[in-house]
Amino acid sequence: MLTSTIHGVQLLNPQLFCHPTKRASKCGHDIHPSASARTPWCPACVASLTKASLDAMQKMLDLRGGPTPNAYERDRKWNTNRLRRNIAMQRLESAKRRDQLRREREQAWEEMHQRYDFERVRAVLDQNSAGCFVCETMAASYPDETIRSQAVDVAWWENPDRLVASRNPVPKMPRKRSQKTAHASRGSPTMRKIIQDHRSALVDMNIQIEAWKIRYRIERSVRRKHGLHEGYHFQPGFWESPVSGVHVRLHYQVARENQRKAERRARGNMSRPRPPCSPLLYSETVGEIEIDEEMVQTIKEKEYREEMERQARRAAGEVGYLYFNGGIDGLEEWEDDVLRSNRDLVSRKPMLEHEPGNVCEEEDTDVDGDDDNGDEKESDEMDIGKT
């Protein structure tokens, strides 16, 4: 019997011509005689391990939302699992390529051994030969790299044929200067320090103003959405740890259910009355509706008062910093009003330039004024002289 079977493949008997049975170093399964003696896993174990690793990585990725989850599910753990899945797929493809090369090598080894008549060769050759003549013939067909002799005291890069001369040598770049030119600072160090502190204070103030604008915009949106009045105060730490949307929704449902129960108890545990007919049944044209002039005037006056109150509140918020009076300790109490104020309203009034001729004319007009002004000036001069 000259053949044997390994993993379902019919092979030649490995005991012939110094071909002992080979086993993998880790799994312990039989492998092909042409394989290396230090093969850790057999082909079946390599395929099963790579497939199991890919299945495990795919399962972990599916737990995180799959390959294409929603935007809010793509976190660091999902990205890590996605990369691990891709690496496992690459390893599986690499294992398939190596397995294909292994099959081609085993097929070439078998075809080479099947060309010879082993019974006739056994009678001719020595049974105690050190190796297989077919394997030796296959090894002799490959080119052998000769080892060149090298002196002990010569480095490998000093050999004449080791380094290839470049046709386009790299130009020599100028070396960087170890010491840079020191530029003398201009101006007063004290003034420079004051300017830097002032600029940093302006940057901090702008950051606080932007943060306050965002907070004011959010609070205004919340008041408009939930129908809260302007005087409702939000705690400063409320926005740092906001309530979860699930709890807000649950609280809203519980409050609505309690309100519905209270209305039903108020009706004497009776069902809710049916809604009336649609107003479209009683629709009228504009000409048919009669409105009193006094009522129209009253509505206009009410709307005008509400608009004026709204503009007054807005203007008061913008110029709130004008009413700040006190030491630096009181700034904590009025800090929100100061940040809410519109700083663009503050401007410096330009100085009027007077010519010498105009100054004289103004003095003449002052002298020609009424007697009361002259008496007041004389009394002021007398008071100054006394003092």
Q: What is the 3-state secondary structure (H, E, C) of 309-344?
A: HHHHHHHHHHCHHHHCCCCHHHHCCCHHHHHHCCHH
**Domain-embedded: residue 91:** yes
Q: Residue 9: pLDDT band by 50, 70, 90 thresholds? A: very low
pLDDT exceeds cutoff 60 at 28: yes
Structure tokens that stand for 384 in this block: 């100054």
pLDDT per residue as tens digits for the range 129-159: 556 767 777 766 655 556 666 677 777 777 7
Domain that holds residue 51: 22-141
**Domain-embedded: residue 132:** yes
Whether 122 and 34 share a structural domain: yes
Count of domains observed in the chain: 2
Q: Residue 189: pLDDT band by 50, 70, 90 thresholds? A: confident
Do residues 197 and 205 make contact, with C-beta atoms less than 8 angstroms apart? Answer: no
**Domain-embedded: residue 377:** no
Max mean pLDDT range (19-23, 213-217, 342-346): 213-217
Whether 202 and 123 share a structural domain: no
End-to-end CA distance of the chain: 140
Per the DSSP assignment, residues forming a β-bridge with 10 are: 5
Whether 116 and 224 share a structural domain: no
Beta strand extents in the chain (DSSP E only): 3-6, 9-12, 22-23, 30-31
Domain stops at, among 102, 118, 141: 141
Whether 105 and 200 share a structural domain: no
**Domain-embedded: residue 339:** no
Q: In one letter, which amino acid is 253?
A: Q
Q: Give the pLDDT score at 155.
A: 76
Q: Residue 99: pLDDT band by 50, 70, 90 thresholds? A: very high
Q: Give the pLDDT score at 128.
A: 54
Angle between helices 133-141 and 76-114 (to 10 degrees): 120
Whether 128 and 212 share a structural domain: no
Q: Could you give the percent of the chain with pLDDT greater than 70?
A: 67
Do residues 133 and 126 make contact, with C-beta atoms less than 8 angstroms apart? Answer: no
Whether 134 and 202 share a structural domain: no
Structure tokens that stand for 344 in this block: 């663009």
Whether 113 and 47 share a structural domain: yes
Max mean pLDDT range (4-18, 137-151, 176-190, 255-269): 255-269
**Domain-embedded: residue 103:** yes
Q: Give the pLDDT score at 182.
A: 75
Q: Give the pLDDT score at 187.
A: 81
**Domain-embedded: residue 332:** no
∠ CA 248-249-250, rounded to 5°: 90
What residues contact residue 150 under an 8 Å CB cut-off, 6+ apart? 156, 159
Task: Report the sign of the C-alpha dihedral through residues 106, 112, 117, 118, in that order.
Answer: negative
Whether 195 and 134 share a structural domain: no
**Ordered DSSP codes for 46-62:** HHHHHHHHHHHHHHHHH
Whether 136 and 32 share a structural domain: yes
pLDDT exceeds cutoff 80 at 340: no
pLDDT per residue as tens digits for the range 358-373: 444 444 444 444 445 5
pLDDT per residue as tens digits for the range 67-89: 888 888 888 999 999 999 999 99
Do residues 341 and 320 make contact, with C-beta atoms less than 8 angstroms apart? Answer: yes
Say which residue, 229 or 80, is predicted with more confidence.
80
Across 108-112, 146-150, 162-166, 357-361, least confident range: 357-361
**Domain-embedded: residue 77:** yes
Domain stops at, among 111, 126, 141: 141
Domain stops at, among 228, 249, 274: 228
Q: Give the pLDDT score at 303.
A: 94
Whether 89 and 200 share a structural domain: no
Whether 26 and 122 share a structural domain: yes
**Domain-embedded: residue 202:** yes
Q: Give the pLDDT score at 366.
A: 46
Whole-number average pLDDT of the chain: 76
Query: For 16, which DSSP code?
Result: T
Max mean pLDDT range (139-148, 198-207, 236-245): 198-207
pLDDT exceeds cutoff 60 at 317: yes
What is d(CA 330, CA 327) in angstroms, rounded to the nearest whole number?
A: 6
∠ CA 377-380-385, rounded to 5°: 125
What is d(CA 277, CA 252) in angstroms, rounded to the nearest whole number?
A: 30
pLDDT exceeds cutoff 90 at 48: yes
Q: Give the pLDDT score at 94.
A: 95
Whether 132 and 26 share a structural domain: yes
